[in-house]
Structure 1
């Protein structure tokens, strides 16, 4: 490689490092202070960026940065769900709603991540998602599309197949309840591990995740009317 081409690539590498630092800092701040409680200045300072206008340079705006964080998280989760579904299909496919709930939980705690992906605990991903759901759902919905949710939609189709006796409206409500319980509980788990590497009294228990999976499955399979 000639010196000229090597020099030409250096700024791109620096740009990528700066972008990654800004995104990591933003996600941590959003996770702990909420979306509205964090300013552009807070993010730039936490990222250690020398140029105060760097966020706008790389992302256009705070909303542009948020959109990229949503897209990054969606790609990681979707990739994990695709790999998990392939593994499940290779073993005969899901046999119960619990199999799909387990898949969804395990993907979000990093079990099916790529080998070079970092452990998601402590990065603030789940708390960031919960914060978006509460006050900035519009941004989240504008970024996500069918291609980024294909595997998730397959999971929902499997779950519907395991609840044939329930009215469609009830099934849809329970799938929403499942999503809310899964994201908020895993957000609390993420915070617990960040505060205490053991996960504290609740999440240090070897049965905690199994109990979560059973609880979510119970919501889906509860008789109707009760």
Structure 2
């Protein structure tokens, strides 16, 4: 099966002003939360003299947030596509390999972002915002690589119980999102040495893979 990132790549409608607004919004939302950041404040912080600059590029706050999520999802998908494509034959995929394909691409993206970064804390805010939570989840799940992982899961007969499968996925998301946000904050505030950022991210990735493997074994046994 050939996988392509085209389905998750955001539109090419881009400009320096639009990119600056997105980067500024991500930082402000990550640091202060959605309730404390107005669209006007984003425009001012992004250096836009036109008070309607944000509305010109994005019709609403939610469209702005969705554009940020889509950009990150597309970047993560590039890593996951390569990992999933290497799972051959799918019938022999171990649980740890499958879980690594879920977690490692996000870790690689965090490393690429450098320090300081804001995506981890931004995503943590998004997944608890009722109007944005489902979009944030589906931005990653509705991708070629995740659909292929789901096919492999079904081929191997794991998680026949839909309720258990959904709960398992939610637990994984909570671990990845909030532990990543915590490390990102620690790096940004000097609680973890920024010079050791890559090592810290890779260690977190390995810890998350091990933790999720243990969680999966506890929930569904050795299937």
Shorter-chain TM-score range: 0.7 to 0.9
SS of equivalent to 1:49: coil
Point out the structure with max Rg over C-alpha.
1
Structure 2: gaps (5+ residues): 1-13
Instruction: Tell me the CA shift for residue 162 of structure 1.
Output: 5.6
Q: Residues 65-214 of structure 1: matches in 2 within 5 Å?
A: 65-89=64-88, 92=89, 95-110=93-108, 118-119=112-113, 122-138=116-132, 140-141=134-135, 144=138, 148-159=142-153, 164=158, 167-196=161-190, 198=193, 204=200, 207-214=203-210
Q: Go from structure 1 to structure 2 and tell me whether the alpha carbon gap of 1:68 and 1:120 turns closer, same or farther (over 3 Å shift).
A: farther
Q: Alpha carbon RMSD of aligned pairs, Å?
A: 3.5
Q: Larger RCO: Structure 1 or Structure 2 (Cα < 8 Å, ≥ 6 residues apart)?
A: 2
CA contact under 8 A between 2:99 and 2:212: conserved in structure 1? Answer: yes
Question: Any runs of at least 4 consecutive aligned residues in structure 1 with deviations exceeding 6 A, and if so which?
Answer: 200-203
TM-score normalized by structure 1?
0.74
TM-score normalized by structure 2?
0.75
Instruction: Tell me the CA shift for residue 121 of structure 1.
Output: 5.1
Residues in 1 aligned to 2:83 and 2:167: alpha-carbon distance in whole angstroms: 25
SS of equivalent to 1:110: helix
Structure 1: gaps (5+ residues): 1-14
Instruction: Tell me the CA shift for residue 17 of structure 1.
Output: 0.6
SS of equivalent to 1:134: coil
Residues in 1 aligned to 2:66 and 2:159: alpha-carbon distance in whole angstroms: 39
Instruction: Tell me the CA shift for residue 28 of structure 1.
Output: 0.7
Q: 2:212 aligns with which of 216, 219, 223?
A: 216
Residues in 1 aligned to 2:77 and 2:58: alpha-carbon distance in whole angstroms: 23
Aligned length: 205
